[in-house]
Structure 1
Amino acid sequence: MSIFRSATLLLVATLGAAGLATNAWSQGRPLTVVSWGGAYQDAQREVYFKPFTAKTGVKLVDESWDGGIGVLRAKLQGGANNWDLVQVESEELQLGCEEGLFEKIDWAKLGGRDAYMPEAANDCGVGAILYNFVLAYDGDKFKGAGPQSWADFFDLQKFPGKRSLRKGAKTNLEFALIADGVKPADVYQVLSTPAGVDRAFKKLDTIKSSIVWWEKGAQPPQLLASGEVAMVSAYNGRIAAANKTDKKNFRITWKNSLYTIDSWAIMKGSPNKAQAEQYLVFAGAPSVQKDLPPLIPYGVTNKRSTELVAKSVLPDLPTNPEYMASALLISDKFWLENLDRLTQRFNSWVSK
C-alpha cells in the first residue's frame, strides 16, 4: 500500500500499568510503528495505537512510508534505524525475512499460528489486513453502467477518458493479461513466459497515453473526485472511506480484483522488541481487530475476528465470498523471482 507521509505522537494516556510504563519510558526512544498513512492509518490510530497506549502506558510514535525493500535495507545497513514495527507488503516481508532484516515472530505469544489465517502466519510477520486492488469509478460521472471488468478499463472507445494505475509492474501486468482474455487462474503461468510478459506490455500500450500514475493510496479517490480520471485501480478501503467520509458515490467493480495480505514485521535489532511484541498481542486480539472494518473495510486476520465484526460491514469486506470467488491472490513466489527484472522493464517502458 502507498501513503501520504505523516507522523503523530501518541503520549502516554495512563500510568496505571506502572511496570509497563516504566519499561516504555526507560527506552532510548518510544516504540515507533510505521504504516501506510491516509484513511487507513487514521483508523489504526483509533483502533490500535491510542487504545494500546491507554492500556499499557507504552509511549508510541506512528509514522508512515511509501514502501520498498530498499528503504528497509538502508535503515539497517546505514546504522540509523529508528523504526521498530513496520507494516510491509508480502514480497517485502519475504525478502526481508530471507535477508535478516526482521526479527522472528514468537508465535507462542500470539496464541499460535493456527489462530490466524494461513497466509497471515509467517516466520517474520503477522498479518495485519487483507485487502484488494479493485477497479473503481465515480457513479455520478456515468449516465449508464460504468466499467464492469478490466476489459472495460482498457476499452477507450467504450469508456473514453483518462485512467489511473499504480505506478509499478506488480498488479498492472496481471490486470493487462486479464483484460486481454487470460483466465485469472492462468495469469502467472502466462507471465512466467517471455511471450506472456510481451503480451501484458502490449496490452498496456493500448492505454499508455491515457494513464495517470498514482503512487500513494490516497490519490485514486482524489483523482476520481477531481474528475481528472474516469476510473482507477485502487485499494478497496480507500474508496469505501471516501464514500463514507466525503459522501462520494464511488463504485467498486470487484470482478477479478487482486488481493494480498500486509503484515507487521519487527525490525532486526529493535531495542523495543518486547514492546513491539506486546503491541502485536494487543492488535491481534479478536476483540480489538473487530473494530477496524467498520472504520475502513479491510479484512482482518485472526480467524475469530470476522465473526465478531458488525454484520452491516460484511458486504463491504474483500473477504466476502462473492468477491473472493473471482479474485486472484497476488503470487509472492512469482514476484520474488521476477520483481527486479520486471520493474526494470516497466520503468524503461514508462520512460519511452
Structure 2
Amino acid sequence: MKKRRPIHCTRALVLVVGAAVPAFIQACGPQAPEGPSITAVSWGGSYGRAYRGAVQIPFMEETGIRVDMEDYNGGLAQVRAQVDVGAVYWDVVDLEMADAMRGCDEGLLERIDIDMLPPALDGTLAREDFYPEMHGECGAGMLFYSTVYAYNADLFPGEQPATMADFFDLEEFPGRRGMRRVPQVNLEFALIADGVPLEDVYATLGTPEGLDRAFDKLDTIKDQVVWWEAGAQPPQMLADGEVVMSTAYNGRIFNAQVLEEQPFVIVWDGQVLDYGQLGIVAGTPRLEDARRFVAFATTGESLAAIARRISYGPARRSGEPLVTTHLATGVEMAPHMPTSPDNIARALRNDWEFWVDNQDALNERFSAWLTRAN
C-alpha cells in the first residue's frame, strides 16, 4: 500500500514557531513515496473534482508520476512557512493572481519561463497562445473565473435581484447575505453598489475617502452577513436557506445548477473577473516533476477539459474552441462563461497590482472592522 503523509501534520505547520519547527518537520514531513510523486494544492469542492478528472488522473496515467491533491482556501501563509523553514512538501499550488505576484516578489515561487511551456496543437507558441494578462514571471496562466453573487430563485417569487445595488438593498430584498471573509471583492462590490462607475472603482479605493465609502456601504448589511471561507460553502448556504443570496465563484454556482438542479440564479452585474495561475513552490526537491505537471496542466487541451467540467474560461486561445458542452450534462458552456459577451458587459477586471500593494493594510483594517460593533 502506498504511504501517504498525515493531513493533520500539513495543516498544523503554520501553527509551529521557533525552535520546535525543525523537529516538527522531521516528524511530520512527507514520507518517502514509492516512485516519483508530487503534491498539487488547489481549491477543493466542485473545482477540485474538475481538476482531478481533467488534469490529475490523465497526468498520472501519461507520466507514471503520482499526484497527491490537497485543498486550501488561498493565501501564502502555508507556502511561506514551508519556504522559510526549508521544508517544502507542497510542489504546485493554484493561486489567485495577486498572491502569485506577491509570492514571486517574496521569493516563495520558482520562475516559470513561458517559452518552456508547450505550444498549441497548431504550433502556435505558448507566448502567443496565452492571453497576455494570464502569465506572470512565477505563474502559468490557468483560468478566467469570476466572483459574482447568486440567489435562490425560490425565495424571490416576485421581483428578483438584478444589480449589485440589489445585493445591498435589505429593504427591497430582505434576508441574510453570504460574503467571503476577506476584503478583496467585497470592497469593490460595495463601491459598485454605491454607484461608483466600474472604471473608477480602484482609483476610488486608492483614496482614504473611497475606502471609508466602501466600508460605510458594507456597514449597511454587516449585521445580516454570514461569512464564508471555502468556495464550496456559498452553494450549500443557499441550498440550506442559511442565506437568500451570496457572493460566490461563478463555476461553483454553475455546477450546483446543472448537477444538482438547484434553483440558483447568477447576477453578472458588477462581477469581478479574475485570473488563476499555477505556481511552483520555491525550493521543492521535485522541481522537474512539478514543471512537467505545470506544462501538462496548462495546455489548451487540459484547460478545455477543466472548462467542460466547470464554467471557468481557458487561459489559452487554443483551448476556447474545445470548450463545447458540459461533459456530464451536455449543457452548452458558452452562456455560462464569465468571459461571454453578455456576462462580461458589466464586469470589473480585478486590479491585482492594487491588491499586491495594499493587501496587508486592508487585511488589517478589514479584520478590525469585523470585530467592531456597528
Establish whether TM, by shorter chain, passes 0.5.
yes
Amino acid at match of 1:249: P
Residue number among 135, 145, 160 corresponding to 1:146 in the alignment: 160
Amino acid at match of 2:239: A
Deviates more, 1:114-123 or 1:251-260: 114-123
Does the alignment pair 1:99 with 2:99? no
What is the Cα-based RMSD across aligned positions, in Å? 1.5
Residue number among 181, 187, 201 corresponding to 2:195 in the alignment: 181
- How far is 1:281 from its partner? 2.0
Residue number among 297, 311, 334 corresponding to 1:314 in the alignment: 334
1:120-135 aligned at under 5 Å gives the runs 120-135=134-149
Amino acid at match of 1:198: D
Is residue 293–residue 309 contact of structure 1 (8 Å, CA) maintained in 2? yes
1:101-250 aligned at under 5 Å gives the runs 101-110=108-117, 111=119, 112-250=126-264
Residue of structure 1 equivalent to 2:52: 45
Residue number among 329, 334, 342 corresponding to 2:349 in the alignment: 329
Aligned residue pair count: 329
Amino acid at match of 2:260: D
- How far is 1:145 from its partner? 3.3
TM-score, normalised to structure 2, is 0.85
SS in 1 for 2:73: coil
Residue of structure 2 equivalent to 1:349: 369
SS in 2 for 1:164: strand
Is residue 256–residue 326 contact of structure 1 (8 Å, CA) maintained in 2? yes
TM-score, normalised to structure 1, is 0.90
- Structure 1: stretches of 5+ with no match in the other structure: 1-5, 8-23
Amino acid at match of 2:194: D
- How far is 1:108 from its partner? 2.1
- How far is 1:26 from its partner? 5.0
TM-superposition CA deviations, 1:217-270 (whole Å, max 9, x none) = 011011100111110000000001111222101010111100111110011121
Amino acid at match of 2:356: L
SS in 2 for 1:197: helix
Instruction: State the alpha-carbon separation in 2 of the partners of residues 159 and 172 from structure 1.
Output: 19
Amino acid at match of 1:31: I
Instruction: State the alpha-carbon separation in 2 of the partners of residues 244 and 295 from structure 1.
Output: 11
SS in 1 for 2:306: coil
Residue of structure 1 equivalent to 2:313: 299
- How far is 1:109 from its partner? 2.1
Is residue 43–residue 94 contact of structure 2 (8 Å, CA) maintained in 1? yes
- How far is 1:25 from its partner? 5.4
Residue number among 282, 286, 291 corresponding to 1:268 in the alignment: 282
Amino acid at match of 1:148: A
Deviates more, 1:169-178 or 1:311-320: 311-320
SS in 1 for 2:295: helix
Is residue 25–residue 59 contact of structure 1 (8 Å, CA) maintained in 2? no
TM-superposition CA deviations, 1:101-142 (whole Å, max 9, x none) = 111112222133222111111110011111000010011221
Amino acid at match of 2:339: T
Instruction: State the alpha-carbon separation in 2 of the partners of residues 79 and 146 from structure 1.
Output: 53
Residue of structure 2 equivalent to 1:15: none
**How high is the sequence identity, in percent, across the aligned residues?**
42
SS in 2 for 1:157: coil
1:63-78 aligned at under 5 Å gives the runs 63-78=70-85
Instruction: State the alpha-carbon separation in 2 of the partners of residues 304 and 84 from structure 1.
Output: 27
Residue of structure 2 equivalent to 1:61: 68
Amino acid at match of 1:122: G
